[in-house]
Amino acid sequence: MLNFLWQFTPTVIILGFLIFVHELGHFIACRLSGVRVEKFSIGFGPELIQFKRNETTYAISAIPFGGFVKPSGESFSDLADHQAKPGDFLAASKLSRLFILLAGVVMNFLIAVILFTFVFWLGQAVLKAKVGGFVAGYPAEESNLKIGDEILYLNGKKVENWQQMTMLIFENQEPSLILDVDRDGRAVRVEIEPQHDVGTDVFGEKKKISRIGITPSKEYLFVKYSFIESCQRSVLTTLNLTMMTYKALWRLVTGRMSPKTLSGPIGIMVMTGNAARMGLSPLLQLTAIISISLAVINLLPIPALDGGHIFFLLIGMLKGSEVHPKVQDKLTQIGFACLMALMVFVVYNDLINIGFIDKIKSWLGG
């Protein structure tokens, strides 16, 4: 029970925070655009807390995996006599509506940048690029490389830590690797012909990778950057992760990546609990990554998501008239049904990944 609470509590806090930030973006944009907000809710289902201030009802509901801001006159079905009045969402200009729809994902991207900035600025412990041992049968074992050597340069590229060094080795396509190492204060150059294996990248796609067969030492290096450099690195990290997320989604759609790699609420709960155990820096990084994922998914042109509403709005701007309300409502219903089906799939996938389905099968079989 305590283990479950340790996993569940950070997840609720993080998702609640990110959903609040997303909806706060919509809320602020509505205020700036002169659109009334009828309700601001964090979560779905039975309401735990509710109060009204001015014209807006604020609520916190039992199911934390979601939330919404309900502007006045958001859809044609909300309008009396189908006539939008000042303060209604549909009475605002198309640019104002676009601003309101985009504000949520902009806030998620902004939070990711802020969190990554703190990670780089406060610093984090990373493994040194120092040889701790050798893997039997690989080239490094028979080379001039020694245990305790700290790798400084690889084919002329400066090595900052173990993770960066392994990526340089994996991506190498040259017949040999030149390693400049520090050996007890002496500069030594070692040449190794790597072994080329077939491995998988972060998207699960097979590719040729290089390996030399070394394992890390247990020495860590505390790395931190100036505030300005931390800001620069955070922006680049956010952009890179955004592109990687879209690339992964494209591979899912085209069948080049297995849907089994998707994680849902349970998978997020496990990852968040593990990150919380590892400390503040990993937890902030995971929160930033989840925030980017929420932004990317919300921008997809799927009815029922922000991206779907933006899609309808852009079509209306191009054709000079609104997309017919019945068409929007029908497509939104279909989009919502698809999202629910996807949610059921990822939850089932999470249960398989944590071994729950196998336990159920064994119980039933027993």
Contact 178, 144 (CB under 8 A): no
CB 103 within 8 A of CB 179: no
Kindly write down the DSSP assignment for every residue of 101-144, as one continuous string. Answer: HHHHHHHHHHHHHHHHHHHHHH-EEEE-SBEEEE-TTSGGGGSS
Between CA 151 and CA 131 the distance in angstroms is: 8
> 3-state class of 336 per DSSP?
helix
The residue behind tokens 């309900």 is: 70
d(CA 134, CA 192) in angstroms, rounded, equals: 13
Helix 2-33 vs helix 265-278: crossing angle, to nearest 10: 110
> Is 74 a residue of the active site?
no
- Of residues 23, 47, 171, 191, which has the active-site annotation? 23
Find tokens 């998702």 and name the residue: 15
Contacts of 206 (CB under 8 A, 6+ apart): 198, 199, 200
Separation of CA 65 from chain center: 15
Helices (H), the chain: 2-33, 94-122, 162-171, 227-253, 265-278, 280-298, 306-319, 325-353, 356-365
Handedness of CA 163, 168, 170, 171 (dihedral sign): positive
Determine contact, residues 262/137, Cβ cutoff 8 Å.
Answer: no
Instruction: Report the distance separating Cα 261 and Cα 255, nearest Å.
Output: 12
Write out the catalytic residue numbers.
23
